[in-house]
Amino acid sequence: MSQYVSRLQRRSQAAPHRLRLHRRPRRVAMLSVHTSPLHQPGTGDAGGMNVYIVELAQRLAAINIEVEIFTRATTGGLPPTVDMAPGVLVRHIDAGPYEGLNKEDLPAQLCAFTHGVMQAWAGHRPGYYDLVHSHYWLSGHVGWLAAQRWGTPLVHAMHTMAKVKNANLADGDTPEPAARVIGETQIVAAADRLIANTAEEREELVQHYAADPGKVAVVHPGVNLDRFRPADGRAAARARLGLPQDALIPLFAGRIQPLKAPDILLRAVAVLLDQRPDLRSRILVPVVGGLSGSGLAKPEGLQKLASRLGIADVVRFQPPVGQEQLADWFRAASVLVMPSYSESFGLVAIEAQAAGTPVLAAAVGGLPVAVADRRTGFLVRGHDPAAYARVLGDFADDPALTPRMGEAAARHAQSFGWDTAAAATADVYAAAAQSYRRHVRSHHG
């Protein structure tokens, strides 16, 4: 080992640039236990993280880092591997019954999942994977074991954190269990590098989980700027979706669960129509998304709320749609409304802005990074429906507000391309590999 180390040191002094390139991993094992990159975002537990993994993997492959994504098989008869894109392979691992497992049931299946990952690895030569990148705490546990077993660095992305979610719970939402808090704390200690979406998330990792600040890198998620763009404009998108041309259309798009607070939008619309009944004939509120998490306990909850508030006639519930059609919903909207209680980043906010639509959001988590307040949208402190109603009233009164802010929003979103995010992630990989080698060196020195 020490001969290898001194050879490395000699090489690093001789050719720092070549070594830096050499340090980039060639092949990464990416772990996504509870949600498959092949699933439709907006259904079940599939959301922003799915989009994140798909886009990141493809852009990493484009800069010559091969990615293999390990995910749990959720239906029978799936092929063991699927080529998702050039340089990106999805591996389906059998762990537990295919159907009917909630995210909460998955910790019990982590042993089986880890076994499947190890079986896949056993068929390869030693050193086949250069690095493990795990997403969300469930994957982090598998990643921790895999990285130890394979002798590779571990990079982990939390996406959401139990302590942060529990500090910002919606009324009647279920707190995250203690087992998750313990699990997250262990992963933070074990990872060579942690990727945070925003500087605020970095602070939360340090404050709540005692993360070493030197190990936490901030990488803003990206947006697919080819797909989410203003295209042929609002009028054309409304025509395609069969929406009225002159209506005020505040849109909710995302998973229907208390955390995302679609009820706040409905309550805000009820307040607005109470104050201004004349708006009823020209407002339409689409809710695009599927039930998820604790929202599954009350599948009809939002429809019943719309009826109770007396606004069922202006609310339109839409099942989750593919990314192309989602871009059209964003283009068609007057404003995207995101009253979430907690968001690690709020990818949907960037997607809507890239499509040329302003955003009205809660000032939580990463949303103040995603939305430039009063320039590309409005940030509201707290969850008082009346505060959201006031902003919706501004959009109703000033028809030029949507196109004016929408233009600024599209420009703002340009700085969030996935190529930038992939290059920054590759740099984190290189730093993780370097500190991992230093760590190994100090233990075998």
Binding residues for 1D-myo-inositol 3-phosphate: 34, 45-50, 103, 136, 160, 180
- Position 381, amino acid: R
Binding residues for UDP-N-acetyl-alpha-D-glucosamine: 40-41, 48, 255, 260, 321, 343, 351
Q: List the structure tokens of 117.
A: 């990952």
What's the DSSP call for residue 253? E
Binding residues: 34, 40-41, 45-50, 103, 136, 160, 180, 255, 260, 321, 330-331, 333, 343, 351, 357
CB 330, CB 241: distance < 8 Å: no
Pairing of β 66-72 and β 131-135:
unpaired
Query: What is the residue-wise DSSP string for 85-97?
Result: ETTEEEEEE--S-
Q: List the structure tokens of 259.
A: 């955390």
- The 3-class SS string of 316-341 reads EEECCCCHHHHHHHHHHCCEEEECCC
Handedness of CA 420, 422, 428, 434 (dihedral sign): negative
Ranges of H-type helices in 191-322: 199-209, 234-241, 262-275, 301-308
Pairing of β 88-93 and β 81-85:
antiparallel
Edge-to-edge strand list for the sheet holding 377-380: 315-318, 285-288, 250-253, 335-338, 359-362, 377-380
Q: Is 54 helix (H, G, I), strand (E, B) or coil?
A: helix
Q: List the structure tokens of 193.
A: 């590098």
Query: How far apart are alpha carbons 22 and 26 in whole angstroms?
Result: 9
Q: List the structure tokens of 79.
A: 């092929």
Binding residues for Mg(2+): 330-331, 333, 357
Query: How far apart are alpha carbons 242 and 176 in whole angstroms?
Result: 40
CB 379, CB 356: distance < 8 Å: no
Q: Which among 304, 101, 322 has a CA at the least distance from the CA of 228?
A: 322
Handedness of CA 12, 18, 19, 20 (dihedral sign): positive
* Residue position matching structure tokens 């998750």: 180
Can you count the helices (H) and strands (E) in the chain? 17, 14
CA dihedral angle for residue 345, residue 347, residue 352, residue 358, rounded to 10 degrees: 0
CB 429, CB 19: distance < 8 Å: no
* Residue position matching structure tokens 């049931």: 105
CB 286, CB 329: distance < 8 Å: yes
